[in-house]
Amino acid sequence: MSKQRIAVGLCGLGTVGSGVVTLFERHGAALATRCGCPVELTHIGARRDRPDCDTSGYNVSRDIFAVVADPEIDIIVELIGGTTTAYDLVAQALEAGKHVVTANKALMASRGNELAALAEQKGVALRFEAAVAGGIPVIKTLRESLAANAIDSIAGIINGTGNFILTEMAKAGRAFEDVLSEAQALGYAEADPTFDIDGTDAAHKLVILATLAFGIPLDIDGPFTEGINSVAPEDLHFAEELGYVIKHLGIAQRVGGQVDLRVHPTLIPRDKQIATVDGVLNTVMVRSDAVGELVLVGPGAGALPTASAVCGDVTDIAQHVARGTTDARPVLGLPTQALQSLPRVSRDDVQSEWYLRMVVSDQPGAMADITRLLGNEGISIESLIQRPPKSGAKEVSVVIITDRASGSGIQRAVDAIEQLEALAGSITMLRVEAFEGS
């Protein structure tokens, strides 16, 4: 049965929630035209006021579950974050036969399999475009537009806060804490920015992308995860001197019958396209058999870009609801029972070039020992910088880019080098990706 009006309930009035209110006010009339009937934000669940967001025209409940219980509401937008209350809220909404739009990557990565199965069972839509890469329409691209492709790999910058911090530290020489505070003020960072910094946020997003790309169940424990907190300002400077930039990458690729999933800071030659994506911009590069290489770039965080993705999903669902049809497309691209696990590639086996930075006593034979220990593992050196000691100092910084080596091979060499008497402290190890062809 077609509808005269579609009612949307918004749960959560943080940065993205207030962006959704703004976009409904700005584009509500156009959304109604697209859908063939009014699409109205009628009920907002917010545990506290947001002074910069005028909600005087809306029914506002302190109890967010009151929005789910509201019989008028057709579509619930979940923007409260977290995985406990948010799970209960989304599950209750789906159980009640309401469609759900969420921006919650932690929820989708951790409990998306159950929620997708529930949505399919209830015949309702569960959409999550805003969960990955903010304003970039990468979920629809993978789930729908590339359906007739076998996807080989995805690589991208998928945390806006991390990219903003690395860019500002490298290009403006700013301090980490100073840039993080600005990212928080601009609404890029999570409420608790730990997940932006330690790589967890990017790992959640990579899990979602890998499911859509490879037809595997969501597996929150799948990726090897390292954050931008393993990058020191001197790494950014040495990388530049060697012709690279450091980006925090998410990589998902098929390797034989296995999948390699990892997020970590990576040196990339500065003339590569992905190396030029700076600030809060995100990028996702997809390689597949029919299209070849596809690169999407856009704002990865912030109120309006993320709210744009939320409102796109709302419109998509509303177009079905308005016509009385059901949007029964599988939530994760394939029906949940058709998703099939694939074994993970061990990070010990993944080959790459490596960046090593160490502090060494300025004494004869130290460099020969280091190159010998790398040579023992069959690893040769591609470039090397040795910074002379500051006057009076007895230690030098040594930076090495190696040829390709496996994770286990380089780790054995690094463990042996760290035993040398000449070594002061531990060695910083970062992978180098050449991105041939991009």
- The residues binding ligand HSE (CB under 6 A) are 134, 159-161, 188-190, 196, 201, 300-301
| Amino acid found at 241 | E
- Cβ neighbours of residue 319 closer than 8 Å, sequence gap 6 or more: 34, 35, 36
Q: Is 17 or 134 the residue whose CB approaches ligand HSE more closely?
A: 134
Q: Is 127 or 254 the residue whose CB approaches ligand HSE more closely?
A: 127
CA distance 157 to 274: 8
Q: What does the DSSP 8-state code read for residue 8? A: E
CB of 210 to ligand HSE, least distance (A): 17
Q: Is 109 or 413 the residue whose CB approaches ligand HSE more closely?
A: 109
272 labelled catalytic? no
Q: Which of 98, 105, 205, 247 is catalytic?
A: 205
CB of 307 to ligand HSE, least distance (A): 11
Break the chain down into helix, strand, coil percent, rounded to 5.
40, 25, 35
CB of 296 to ligand HSE, least distance (A): 15
Asked if 212 and 286 count as a contact pair (C-beta separation under 8 A), the reply is no
Q: Is 283 or 352 the residue whose CB approaches ligand HSE more closely?
A: 283
Q: Is 194 or 326 the residue whose CB approaches ligand HSE more closely?
A: 194
Nearest to 341 by CA among 166, 219, 164, 254: 219
Q: Is 198 or 353 the residue whose CB approaches ligand HSE more closely?
A: 198
Nearest to 113 by CA among 207, 190, 251: 207
CB of 212 to ligand HSE, least distance (A): 16
CB of 180 to ligand HSE, least distance (A): 11
CA distance 117 to 61: 29
CB of 128 to ligand HSE, least distance (A): 11
Q: Is 169 or 432 the residue whose CB approaches ligand HSE more closely?
A: 169
The token duo for 34 is 């697209």
CA distance 226 to 200: 8
CB atoms within 10 A of CB 89: 25
- Cβ neighbours of residue 68 closer than 8 Å, sequence gap 6 or more: 9, 11, 76, 89, 92, 93, 96, 98
With the CA atoms of 263, 265, 267 and 272 taken in that order, what torsion angle do they form, in degrees rounded to the nearest 10? 60
Reduced to 3 states, what is the DSSP secondary structure of residue 350?
coil
Residue nearest ligand HSE, Cβ-based? 161
CB of 205 to ligand HSE, least distance (A): 7
Reduced to 3 states, what is the DSSP secondary structure of residue 423?
strand
CA distance 363 to 356: 19
Q: SS3 string of 173-192?
A: CCCHHHHHHHHHHCCCCCCC
Q: Is 12 or 409 the residue whose CB approaches ligand HSE more closely?
A: 12
Q: Is 105 or 272 the residue whose CB approaches ligand HSE more closely?
A: 105
CA distance 304 to 62: 24
284: left (phi over 0), alpha (psi -120 to 50) or beta: beta
CB of 423 to ligand HSE, least distance (A): 36
Asked if 97 and 300 count as a contact pair (C-beta separation under 8 A), the reply is no
CB of 430 to ligand HSE, least distance (A): 21
Nearest to 115 by CA among 150, 86, 158, 142: 86
- Cβ neighbours of residue 145 closer than 8 Å, sequence gap 6 or more: none
Positions marked catalytic: 205
